Each structure stands twice: as structure tokens, then as C-alpha cells.
Amino acid sequence: MNRPQPNEYPIWGETYISKVDGDIFEILNDQAQSLPALFRANTDKANYAYADGKWTLKEMLGHIIDTERVFAYRITCFARNEKQALPGFEEDGYVANARFAERDLEDLIEEFTALRKANLYLFRSLNEEELNRKGIASGREINVKSILFIVAGHILHHISILKERYEVV
């Protein structure tokens, strides 16, 4: 699949899309194993935040799960030709109201794994026409293919943060 073109997504999408290099489905599939493995290797840091006001590992994984759900919903809506504009979401507010700190890290890991596995069925089912369909989310036009790349790039973005700032192994 060809990369999305800059005119197919809002400027903020470049942060994530630029991180994706290779076959999008291989990357998404690999993340279903590599992200859980990364968190499992760092269970001793589950409640660690690298600075005051920053998310803990559990909160970051919860954010990743919430974001995956939001983006999968957007993909579903736009692939099915939804004409209604979809709202944005405020990630800090979602994390603040989710109680991820009270959850078991392994449960969050399993939740991500199940969610990604289910989403892969949806992602792989999309044909070229569906991938090129557009919609409005957060007040900006975006196509399905771009959201798919953002899903993968979002995780790559957070893996970089985990390695640089949380010093995960």
C-alpha cells in the first residue's frame, strides 16, 4: 500500500505517518506482539512516571488503547461512508478519567492484544476504495488510509518515548 499523501491528512498526522517505514500490515501485526512484550519486560515500572504530571507506564498503555479505539472507530465510520463529522478527543482528559492506575498491567496488555487482533480483521478487510474514503474528525478532513498509518505511527511514537524517557528495555 502506498503512503498517504500530505493532502490526505491534517498536518498533525505527519508526526505519526513519518515514523512508518515498510509494509503497514506487517508493522501493525508486529506491534501486536512487540508492544505487549515491551510492557511485560518492564512490569517493575508499571506505576513509574519520568516526571511529575507525566503518565505512568500503565497510563500510557491505557492511552494507547483508548487512541486505538478512537482511530478504529474513525476508520469504520469513514470506510462505511459516514457523512457526519466526528468529534475530537482530549487525550489527557481521557487518561485522567480512566483510572488506569487502578488496573493490573497484565490486564491492560491483554486488552491491547485483543483490541489490535480484532482491529487487524477490520484493517485487512478494507479495499482501495474504502481506504481512500474521507471524513471529518476533530474538524479536519482525513482519509481512511491516513488513519491506518497514524495508528501504527502513534505506537512507534510512544515506543520512542518509552525508550528515551522511561528507559525501558
pLDDT one-digit tens code per residue, 23-39: 999 999 999 999 999 99
Instruction: State pLDDT tens for residues 76-114.
Output: 999 999 999 999 999 999 999 999 999 999 999 999 999
CATH for the stretch 6-165: 1.20.120.450
Cell numbers for 50, please give them: 519520568
Instruction: Give strand ranges (E) for 33-148.
Output: 134-137, 140-143
Residue of 169, 163, 130 lying closest to 60 (CA atoms): 163
Residues 43-78 as b/e (b if ≥16 CB within 10 A, e otherwise) read: eebbeebeeeeebbbbbbbbbbbbbbebbbebbebb
Per-residue pLDDT band at 169 (split at 50, 70, 90): confident
Model-wide pTM > 0.85: yes
Angle between the 105-125 and 24-40 helix axes, to the nearest 10 degrees? Answer: 170
Residue 1 has pLDDT above 90, yes or no: no
CA distance 78 to 144: 6
Maximum Cα–Cα distance across the chain: 46
Q: Which of 16, 12, 20 is nearest to 139 (CA)?
A: 12
- 36-68 pLDDT, tens digit per residue, is 999 999 999 999 999 999 999 999 999 999 999
**Residue ranges of domains in the chain:** 6-165
